[in-house]
Amino acid sequence: MTATSPTALRLVKWAVATSLLVAAMTPLAAKPAAAQADAALTPAEQIYADLAKLPTAERQQRIEEGAKKEGALNFIHTWRGKLARDHVAMFQKRYPFLKLDFNDMGSQDAGERLVAEEVAGRHLTDVVSMAVPDLVDILNKNLIAKYPTPVTTDKILPQYKGFSDPQNRWVTFYWSEFGITYNTDLVPAGHEPKGWDDLCKPEFKGHVSYDPPTVRFLVGIWTMMGEDKAKAWMKCVGQNKPIVQRGHTQRMELMIAGDHWVQGENYMYTCYEKLAKDPKTPCKGVFSAPILGVGGAIVINKNTQHPYTSALFADWTLSEESQVYTGKNFRGPVGVKHPFIPDGTNIFAYGIVPDDVLDNSLKYWDEYVTKVN
């Protein structure tokens, strides 16, 4: 008996495997096309269009009555753990008649989850909270309901209006800040970096850390600096022996512990959260360099099964209690004063970027900074 399988047997195996695979996938092949072909307003979108015509008080009353009838909401929060749970608990306390089912996961994962469900024709999720630059895919797939709401005009402070969407595809309720932070024990006062270009200076060679690719940050840098300057900046960062390590929080912990001097790219709140717990924590943010601001938004599934409750939640995120909670937890509120960024700081707000910005910023970051040694 030889070890070689007979050809016929191999063919049988191949045919069985292939037919099973095709059998599993074929009956459902029509669904994506059906989902995309639907250009008419969905019931939820129609409701939102009708609500937009009502006076504010009547609109609010209609939403609350509708939510009472629906009685439930399934949503994904991009905040994690206790931060998300306590936020949701406040909403639940305000509207105790609702049965809330929420998951917390990363913004990109949330987007993938929504796409997967909708493409399969399973309308399981009503609302998703996501970072605005991560919305590209679900916008391209036309999965989001336009939701015009007066709260975005009434509640968002003027300096944060740039995070809003004129087309009402999302409701921004917080923003995240990418900026430079440094270890105050290792970088003497007066020698800290003042701007993004300072990260290329020889005195910081081998002392500045970055994540391998944080897409949200890279597209922000690219958009703020423009193609030529962004490429030049990435190149000089790459030549200055960057510390490339995964994990924003972990890098902050390491920097505070004295592992390295500067965070070239990180959420600044990770530093200020720690300072709030222990004022002796040796870290500080650089506010002389423009801060990259990314909106965090609520988007409503155009096929939501609970359109009124989704609207209620989207509006509530801009309520005072929600905004104060956001600020207390060092996320950037848009309706009240920021917890640590001084007034007058240059904030560069950006949102959806063209595909070529995404592709090029990643490409050049890979080429110059995270290149395989």
Partner 1 sequence: MSEQTAGAGPSRLKTFVTAWTTGWDWRRLILVALVLMLVYQVVVPFGMIAWTSFKTARPGDASFLDLDFTLANYVRAFGTPRFWSATWSTLAFSTASTFVAFTIGAFLAWVIERTNTPLARLVGILLVGRIIIPGILITISWILIASPNIGLLNHLGLWLTGVRNIFNVYSFWGMVWVHSIEMVPLTYLLLAAAFQAMDPSLEEASTMTGAGVWRTLRRISMPLALPAAGAAVLLLFITTIETFEVPLLMGGRAGIRVYATEIFFNTSRTPTDWGISATYAMAMTVMSIILLVVYFRLIRHSERYQTITGKGYRPRRIDLGRWRYVTSALSLLMVFIITGVPFLMMLYVSFLPVYLPPSMRAFQSMSLVNYTAMLEDPAEALIPMWNSTLLGLGTATVVVLVVSAIAYFVHKTKIPGRKALDFLAFSSIALPSVVLGAAFLWFYLLVPIPVIGTLTIIGLAYLTKYMPFALRFVSSSMVQIHSELEEAAQVAGVPWRKNFFRIFLPLLKPGLLAAWFWVMVHAYRELTVALMLARSQNRTASVVIYYLWENGSFMQLSAFGVLIFILLIALVTASHFISKRYGVKEQY
Residues 220-239 that bind partner 1 (CB under 8 A): none
Judged by CB under 8 A, the chain residues 129 through 168 that form the site for partner 1 are 133-134, 136-137, 141
CB of 51 to partner 1, least distance (A): 28
Q: Of residues 334-373, which lie at the interface with partner 1 (CB under 8 A)?
A: 358, 362, 366, 370, 372-373
Per-residue contact flags (x/-) with partner 1 for residues 261 to 300, judged by CB under 8 A: ---------x--xx--xx--x-------------------
Among positions 43, 167, 226, 257, the unique one binding partner 1 when judged by CB under 8 A: 257
Residue 15 near partner 1 by CB under 8 A? no
Based on the shown chain and the rule CB under 8 A, indicate whether residue 321 belongs to the binding site for partner 1.
no
Give the whole-angstrom CA distance, residue 147 versus residue 150: 10
Q: Is 182 helix (H, G, I), strand (E, B) or coil?
A: strand
- N residues, the chain: 373
Mask: binding to partner 1, 83-112, rule CB under 8 A, as x and -? x-x---------------xxxxxx-xx-xx
Q: How far is the CB of 151 from partner 1 (least distance, A)?
A: 27
Residue in 237, 244, 262, 286 binding partner 1, rule: CB under 8 A? 244
The interface region with partner 1, picked from 43-51, 118-126, 292-300, 301-309 by CB under 8 A, is: 118-126
**Tokens of residue 47, six digits:** 């409701």
Which residue in the block uniquely carries the two structure tokens 């965090």? 296
Q: CA 366, 372, 373: angle at the middle one, nearest 5?
A: 130
Q: Identify which range of 54-62, 116-124, 161-169, 174-182 contacts partner 1 by CB under 8 A.
A: 116-124
Among 117, 162, 235, 348, binds partner 1 (CB under 8 A): 117
Q: Which is nearer to partner 1, 342 or 373 (CB)?
A: 373
Of the candidates 70, 152, 97, 149, the residue with the CA atom closest to the CA atom of residue 323:
152
Shortest distance in whole angstroms from residue 317 CB to partner 1? 19
- For residue 88, is it left (φ>0), alpha (ψ between -120 and 50) or beta? alpha
φ/ψ of 287, rounded to 5, equals -105, 0
| Maximum Cα–Cα distance across the chain | 84
Nearest to 195 by CA among 179, 211, 210: 179
Specify the pairing of strand 72-77 against strand 127-131: parallel
The conformation of residue 101, written as its DSSP 8-state character, comes to: E
